[in-house]
Amino acid sequence: MASSDWSKAVEDQEKRLSAGMKRVQLGAPRTAPKTGEATPSAQPSAGDWCDEVDSGPEGEEEGDKPTTAAEASLLNKLLHDGLVKAKVSVEVQQKDPNSPLYSVKSFEQLRLSRELLDGIYGMGFNTPSKIQETALPALIADPPCNMIAQSQSGTGKTAAFVLALLHRVDKTNMWPQVLILSPTYELAVQTGDVISEMARFIPEIKIMLAIKGKKPERGQMIAEQIVVGTPGTVLDFLTRRRCLDPNRIRVFVLDEADIMINVQNFQDHSVRVQRQLKPDCQMMLFSATYSDEVMSFAKRIIPDPIVIRLKKEDETLDNIRQYYTICQKEEEKFVALSNIYGVVTIGQAIVFCYTRKSASALCEKMKNDGHAVALLTGELTLEDRATILTRFRDGKEKLLITTNVCARGIDVEQVTVVFNFDIPVDVYRQPDFETYLHRIGRTGRFGKSGLAINFVDGIRSREYLKRIEDHFGKKIRELRTDDIDEVEKLNEE
């Protein structure tokens, strides 16, 4: 937006607000900050207008923390039941940079057994996903090579390693040949299910789950060819029960390494399991994220790996229409939201609030207004968050009210509108450009066009938004939400 447009908007807003405004006097004592909760005295009362209660952390409330990358991975894993198609580029580092890099465009090119191909096609896979195109030729090549592969959740990593390990298993040998470590009980079960499904036409292949509550009879060796389990139980099978012979393991997989490193003892247990295996055992590690911490763990546990990284193309705001609407106070924001929500054809929408408290207050109001609304805030357990997000993904609720806990990494394809009920600011009370990008990036995913509407409730938040606009160099237009015709126009664009 040209700065003259902004000055005009500022001027107009000043006029519109002036009637009900009562500026707090300079030097008026501020309420002492209180973590995570708003003090009632710090809230604006009807008709009050003051910089001190402008959008964001003006010392009164602390915003909700964003979900960690590992938590986002796990949530996405639980959310996806189809391949995620994001724009990506592949980056490979290999031991021998002179050796040509193979990549395949069809499963047939991999020369897999007929039964395995039938299993893959039976799952509805027609062509390899991006990560599979690059990883599979290396994973099934002889001699076997070790691999570290990173790509976002839902891109086909599990299917890739399951295919590779099924290719390696000798179904005539009744002892464990493949060992897979998963960070949680649920993920181990989920991986076991994928193996069973892909090996549907190879009934001789059996799977043992090494998870809490499952143990072989005392003194009995495991006969299943594939063992999937959590690190502690697998370590117990290897060292205490001795029901698993590490010398016969030909393939070792460490799945969801980023989640693994966040669980106490798991790094240690995984390293202890890996040390028992023979040096010629093929080792693979998969992770949805690529932090220094994950990579140093990965390199510690996987010797001489080929490293494959699928990098998501940078998120942009190109296919997102951005608006701001001026509200005088909290109540007006609610009215504006209701007006837009009632008029705009919304697939699904997310509303971002700054604090848990404001999110839950808004949720109550929307519910009282008869809307089916989901509320997701940071105090919930990962399981509860997964349940709420799954319901939202399945369309049981069309509106999700949340905080920064959902700002990054969680993909729900149907989201077409994002509302910034509060403009994102960082701990230094500066506009948080990255969080803005991540929040707005919840819409317009997978090439679809999206709509972002920002609620401006004071001079400070207006200034924040102006800086956000300058930062990204993308116009944020004004939307008069009291003018239904104007709101309706959003449907036409």
Give CA separation, 268 vs 186, 264, 287, 294, in Å: 21, 8, 17, 14
How many amino acids of this chain bind ligand ADP (CB under 6 A)? Answer: 17
Residues 6 or more apart whose Cβ sits within 8 Å of residue 347: 398, 414, 415, 416, 417
Q: Which residue, among 371, 378, 311, has the nearest Cα to 75 in the 3D structure?
A: 378
Q: Which is nearer to ligand ADP, 179 or 327 (CB)?
A: 179
Q: Which is nearer to ligand ADP, 83 or 271 (CB)?
A: 83
**How does 457-478 read in b/e, with b if 16+ C-beta sit within 10 Å?**
bbbbbbbbbbebbeebebebeb
Measured between alpha carbons, how far is 283 from 414 in angstroms, rounded to an integer? 37
Q: From the CB of 302, what's the least distance to ligand ADP, in Å?
A: 17
Measured between alpha carbons, how far is 245 from 237 in angstroms, rounded to an integer? 9
Q: Which is nearer to ligand ADP, 190 or 338 (CB)?
A: 190
Q: From the CB of 153, what's the least distance to ligand ADP, in Å?
A: 4
Q: From the CB of 200, what's the least distance to ligand ADP, in Å?
A: 13
Q: Which is nearer to ligand ADP, 73 or 443 (CB)?
A: 73
Q: Which is nearer to ligand ADP, 191 or 348 (CB)?
A: 191
DSSP 374-393: EEE-TTS-HHHHHHHHHHHH
Q: From the CB of 158, what's the least distance to ligand ADP, in Å?
A: 3
Q: From the CB of 11, what's the least distance to ligand ADP, in Å?
A: 51
Which range, of 9-17, 98-106, 147-155, 277-285, touches ligand ADP by CB under 6 A?
147-155
Measured between alpha carbons, how far is 422 from 346 in angstroms, rounded to an integer? 20
Span 117-146, contacts to ligand ADP by CB under 6 A: 123, 125, 128-129, 132
Long-range contact list for 487-493, CB < 8 A, 24+ apart? 487/339, 487/340, 487/343, 487/344, 488/343, 488/344, 490/321, 490/323, 490/340, 490/343, 490/344, 490/451, 491/343, 491/344, 491/345, 493/321
Among positions 81, 379, 485, 493, the unique one binding ligand ADP when judged by CB under 6 A: 81
3-state secondary structure of 296: helix
Phi, psi of 89 (to 5 degrees): -125, 145
Q: Which is nearer to ligand ADP, 43 or 414 (CB)?
A: 414
Sheet containing 399-402, strands listed edge to edge, beginning at the edge strand earlier in sequence = 373-376, 399-402, 348-352, 415-420, 450-456, 320-326, 476-478
Q: From the CB of 107, what's the least distance to ligand ADP, in Å?
A: 8
Q: Which is nearer to ligand ADP, 74 or 235 (CB)?
A: 74
Whether residue 143 has a cis bond before it, omega within 30° of 0: yes
Here's the x/- map for ligand ADP, 21-40, by CB under 6 A: it reads as: --------------------
Q: Which is nearer to ligand ADP, 286 or 323 (CB)?
A: 286
Span 156-195, contacts to ligand ADP by CB under 6 A: 156-159
Which range, of 150-158, 170-178, 370-378, 469-477, touches ligand ADP by CB under 6 A?
150-158
Among positions 10, 21, 50, 83, the unique one binding ligand ADP when judged by CB under 6 A: 83
Among positions 29, 40, 82, 219, the unique one binding ligand ADP when judged by CB under 6 A: 82
Q: From the CB of 162, what's the least distance to ligand ADP, in Å?
A: 8
289 near ligand ADP (CB under 6 A): no
Q: From the CB of 155, what's the least distance to ligand ADP, in Å?
A: 4
Which range, of 77-85, 141-149, 307-315, 334-342, touches ligand ADP by CB under 6 A?
77-85
Q: From the CB of 105, what's the least distance to ligand ADP, in Å?
A: 11
Does the CA dihedral 249-180-110-206 come out positive or negative?
positive
Which range, of 151-159, 277-285, 314-322, 419-427, touches ligand ADP by CB under 6 A?
151-159
Q: Which residue, among 205, 94, 88, 191, has the nearest Cα to 141 in the 3D structure?
A: 94
Here the tokens at position 425 are 């600011």
User: Residues, the chain, total?
Assistant: 493
- Roughly what angle, to the nearest 10 degrees, separates helices 231-239 and 266-276? 40
Using only the alpha carbons of the chain, give its radius of gyration: 26
Here the tokens at position 74 are 């796990």
77 near ligand ADP (CB under 6 A): yes
Q: From the CB of 132, what's the least distance to ligand ADP, in Å?
A: 6
80 near ligand ADP (CB under 6 A): yes
Q: From the CB of 197, what's the least distance to ligand ADP, in Å?
A: 8
List interacting residues with ligand ADP (CB under 6 A).
77, 80-83, 123, 125, 128-129, 132, 153-159
